[in-house]
Amino acid sequence: SADGSGPSGPGIGPGSTVAVVGTGTMGQGIAQVALVAGHPVRLYDSAPGRAAEAVAAVAGRLDRLVEKGRLGKEDRDAALARLHAADELTGLADAALVVEAIVERLDVKQGLFAELEGIVAEDAVLATNTSSLSVTAIAGGLRLPGRFVGMHFFNPAPLLPLVEVVSGFATDPAAATRAYETAKRWGKTPVRCTDTPGFIVNRVARPFYAEALRVFEEGAADPATIDAALRESGGFRMGPFELTDLIGQDVNEAVTRSVWEAFYQDPKFTPSLAQRRLVESGRLGRKSGHGWFPYADGAERPEP
Ligand code: NAI
């Protein structure tokens, strides 16, 4: 339909199992979302012990929701009873939807899905949370690429409503609709798009970061001034420098680089040398204690 809501169709049923592969930052958040929505959830990670750690991490987050009065104790207990770590990929056999959130490498993702195809049912939807790779490329080696779709969540997944539902060249519209309807049932605000570099948000956001970096590189204003201007008057919740300190300078630079490469090095997306220097020196942002700004332990805002 014209408003992008698409034909209504069934999402993944609430009783159906959702599998999450790769249980780092994003996998844990996505697992929490699916779990709270009522699904049995299975976690798999190739690093030994990591899926079990993710179970504990999700349990901790649900505890905090209970403390804040946003989740009942019984609901938490019921949710945790539905959450299981799998030691092997074969433990995901009953999944109706698999969401992959592993390392951002095409060959590794392709290898994972080739293996998964031999494990899950033929009508299971296979989804990738990739932020910068081509959905079409990841699906390239699949026997049944029609059921493959992008489900791009934003960090932190339990808090941010947007999910970009990305159709590759081979994606069956019915599979995209199932992903879309599932995201809606999970309380998210999905949007549909096709497979272009950066999809919608990560592409449109590039010039926001890039121009701020150029203003800084030209010596026109320092990062704190640029941030303050955009925060106080531009309607942005965070300025580009404090925001990339939160995201991680390395992560932000990698996305810029990937979009730039994917558009055949279109100068519009040229990465910033100043940001490169920052990454090379290990000033990655809050996670390393220093990015554009220094951070005291656990500080929410840059030190004055
Ligand atoms: P992460 O590094 O926190 O977690 C990745 C996990 O995948 C690790 O636990 C690792 O052991 C596991 N893993 C690696 N190779 C594996 C394999 N072959 N099989 C099973 N598990 C494997 O990474 P993060 O940040 O959660 O990102 C995951 C994916 O989500 C990437 O594709 C990334 O581009 C995408 N993404 C990341 C966002 C972010 O802000 N961090 C936002 C949206 C998407």
pLDDT in tens, 20-69: 999 999 999 999 999 999 999 999 999 999 999 999 999 999 999 999 99
Q: Which of 32, 87, 103 to mutate to test the pocket of ligand 1 (most atoms within 8 A of CB)?
A: 103
Query: How many whole angstroms from 130 Cα to the centroid of ligand 1?
Result: 8
- Residue 127: is its pLDDT beyond 80? yes
Note the ipTM here. 0.99
Q: Is 8 among the residues known to form the active site?
A: no
- Residue 159: is its pLDDT beyond 90? yes
Q: Is 164 among the residues known to form the active site?
A: yes
Q: What's the pLDDT at 257?
A: 95
Query: How many whole angstroms from 296 Cα to the centroid of ligand 1?
Result: 27
Mean pLDDT of 80-107: 97
Cα–Cα dist 11/21, whole Å: 20
Cα–Cα dist 44/57, whole Å: 14
Cα–Cα dist 103/12, whole Å: 25
Question: Which atom from ligand 1 is nearest to the alpha carbon of 28?
Answer: 26
- Which stretches does DSSP call E strand in 76-188? 83-85, 95-100, 125-128, 148-153, 162-167
**Model confidence band, residue 304 (pLDDT cutoffs 50, 70, 90):** low
pTM of the model: 0.91
In one-letter notation, the amino acid at residue 24 is G
CATH number belonging to domain 205-288 = 1.10.1040.50
| Neighbouring C-alpha atoms within 13 Å toward the C-beta of 281 | 12
- Reported as a single tens digit per residue, the pLDDT across 246-299 is 999 999 999 999 999 999 999 999 999 999 999 999 999 999 999 999 998 766
Residue 105: which residues within 8 A CB-CB, separation 6 or more? none
- Residue 3: is its pLDDT beyond 80? no
Q: Which of 12-16, 84-88, 287-291 has the lowest mean pLDDT?
A: 12-16
Q: What's the pLDDT at 2?
A: 36
287 C-beta closer than 6 A to ligand 1: no
- Residue 10: is its pLDDT beyond 90? no
- Residue 216: is its pLDDT beyond 60? yes
Q: What's the pLDDT at 16?
A: 97
For the chain, give the mean pLDDT. Answer: 94
Fold classification of 17-196 is Rossmann fold (3.40.50)
131 C-beta closer than 6 A to ligand 1: yes
What residue spans define the domains of the chain?
17-196, 205-288
Same fold, 17-196 and 205-288: no
29 C-beta closer than 6 A to ligand 1: no
